[in-house]
């Protein structure tokens, strides 16, 4: 069992936008750490984080085209845990929110706990948070479904077209061996075919990419679902599908509860959704 | 490496008002910050590789996916 003054692990997120989305608690954790590791997506962010704490090592060197991603992730976990075992206050920084669409962050906490170390994750701004703000949508209005695109496609998930749908990592569709970092057109077309079970022809979807750098523009490109396979999909592209239908009132439930539809006071947030 | 250019880009990232000011009047915003003519050209051109090189930022290949 580690001693009281043994190393400990804080897992934090840098947010999506360079320099502007760091929380105060995260800044303190970074600045007070003995050793910092970072997995971020551009050189500006890495440089800026290294200025907050020069004892910073990037974890990007674990990635290699042709190497299975999971092997890279396990190597990242091993490198961070070695620092904790050396008795250092260790801070691991991830792009966006450290717990959203990130496997190694959760795994390093699990393993640190198994070995008796103090390890904790702190919340940060995720790509989903940016999407909600930039597209001006509220998960409360229609409901919210969110899947990793390939997981959605291959496991035959069912969806509710009256709720919004977000599909992540569409730029990885077709990377079924998890080692190429590119999408394949026929996989994207297969996704379109599946989505057309629920969405009508002409349904407009949004290709979203948060602006990570101040000189960048946010990508909010509207395309019709049926031509999605012709669109440019980048590693950071997220697909947002607005609801296609209105939710149906469950009259049986109303009756069970002993109330009439006319007694229902709708919230303002419910009035903005598609009318049935 | 240019600390001045780096400071300017960081100020745009940290302050939405300054970013809005830059978008509405790039020349005046950069002049107010005291950027050199060469750096003003570089920012307006918006070539990230060039900006990275000038600010000393790591230009290593980066990947995005972590699941």
Query: Which strands, in side-by-side order, build the sheet including A35-39?
Result: A56-58, A35-39, A89-94, A8-13, A118-121
In this structure, what token pair is assigned to residue A96?
Answer: 């966006």
Report residue B62's pLDDT band, with 50, 70 and 90 as the boundaries.
Answer: low
Handedness of CA B2, B6, B7, B12 (dihedral sign): positive
B17 touches chain A (CB under 8 A): no
Using alpha carbons, select from A213, A125, A23, A181 the residue that is nearest to residue B57. Answer: A213
Compare CB distances from B13 to A18, A148, A169 and report the shortest one's residue. Answer: A18
- Give me the mean pLDDT over the B27-32 stretch: 96
Neighbours of A269 (CB within 10 A): 12
- Min CA distance, A128 vs chain B (Å)? 15
Tell me whether 0.90 is exceeded by the ipTM: no
State pLDDT tens for residues A103-139: 999 999 999 999 999 999 999 999 999 999 999 999 9
Q: What is the pLDDT of residue A4?
A: 58
Q: What is the pLDDT of residue A50?
A: 95
Q: What is the pLDDT of residue B2?
A: 62
> Between chains, do A148 and B67 touch, taking CB under 8 Å as contact?
yes
> Between chains, do B58 and A47 touch, taking CB under 8 Å as contact?
yes
Compare CB distances from A47 to B14, B55, B67 and report the shortest one's residue. Answer: B55
How many interchain CB pairs under 8 A, A with B? 81
Q: What is the pLDDT of residue A172?
A: 85
A199 touches chain B (CB under 8 A): no
Q: What is the pLDDT of residue B42?
A: 94
Residue-averaged pLDDT of chain B: 87
Q: What is the pLDDT of residue A275?
A: 62
Q: What is the pLDDT of residue A272?
A: 75
Per-residue burial over A22-59, b if 16 or more Cβ lie within 10 Å, else e, is: beeebeebbeebebbbbbbbbbbbbbbbbebbeebebb
Backbone angles phi, psi at A90, to 5 degrees: -110, 135
Q: What is the pLDDT of residue A3?
A: 63
Query: Do A196 and A159 contact (CB within 8 A), yes or no?
Result: no
Query: What single-letter DSSP state applies at residue A64?
Result: -
Compare CB distances from B52 to A43, A103, A169 and report the shortest one's residue. Answer: A43
Handedness of CA B10, B14, B17, B20 (dihedral sign): positive
**Chain B hits for A94, Cβ within 8 Å:** 66
**Spans of chain A below 70 pLDDT:** 1-5, 179-181, 275-276
Q: What is the pLDDT of residue A5?
A: 61
Distance CA A47, CA A49 (A): 5
Q: What is the pLDDT of residue B47?
A: 87
pTM, whole model, 2 decimals? Answer: 0.91
B3 touches chain A (CB under 8 A): no
Q: What percent of chain B is helix, strand and coil (3-state, nearest 5)?
A: 70, 0, 30
């Amino acid at each position: 069992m580690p001693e009281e003054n043994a190393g400990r692990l804080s897992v934090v997120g840098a947010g999506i936008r360079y320099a502007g989305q760091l929380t105060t608690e995260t800044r303190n954790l970074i600045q007070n750490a003995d050793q910092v590791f970072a997995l971020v997506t551009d050189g500006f962010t890495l440089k800026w984080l290294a200025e907050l704490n020069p004892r910073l090592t990037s974890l990007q060197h674990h990635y290699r085209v042709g190497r299975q991603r999971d092997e890279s992730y396990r190597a990242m976990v091993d490198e961070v845990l070695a620092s904790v075992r050396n008795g250092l206050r260790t801070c691991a920084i991830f792009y966006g929110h450290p717990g959203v669409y990130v496997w190694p962050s959760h795994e390093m906490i699990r393993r640190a706990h198994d070995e008796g170390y103090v390890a904790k994750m702190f919340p940060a701004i995720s790509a989903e948070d940016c999407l909600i703000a930039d597209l001006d949508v509220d998960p409360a209005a229609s409901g919210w479904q969110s899947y990793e695109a390939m997981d959605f496609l291959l496991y035959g998930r069912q969806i509710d077209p009256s709720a919004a749908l977000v599909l992540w990592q569409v730029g990885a569709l077709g990377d079924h061996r998890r080692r190429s970092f590119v999408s394949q057109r026929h996989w994207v077309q297969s996704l379109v075919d599946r989505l057309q079970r629920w969405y009508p022809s002409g349904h407009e979807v949004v290709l979203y990419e948060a602006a990570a750098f101040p000189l960048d523009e946010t990508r909010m490109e509207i395309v019709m679902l049926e031509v999605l396979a012709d669109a440019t999909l980048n590693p950071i592209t997220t697909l947002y599908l607005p609801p296609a239908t209105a939710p149906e009132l469950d009259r049986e439930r109303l009756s069970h509860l002993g109330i009439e539809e006319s007694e229902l006071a709708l919230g303002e947030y419910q009035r903005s959704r598609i009318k049935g | 490496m240019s600390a001045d250019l780096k400071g300017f880009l960081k100020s745009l990232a940290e302050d939405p008002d300054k970013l809005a000011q830059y978008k509405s009047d790039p020349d005046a915003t950069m002049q107010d910050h005291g950027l050199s003519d060469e750096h003003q050209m570089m920012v307006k051109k918006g070539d990230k590789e060039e900006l990275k090189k000038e600010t000393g930022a790591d230009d290593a290949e980066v990947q995005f996916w972590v699941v």
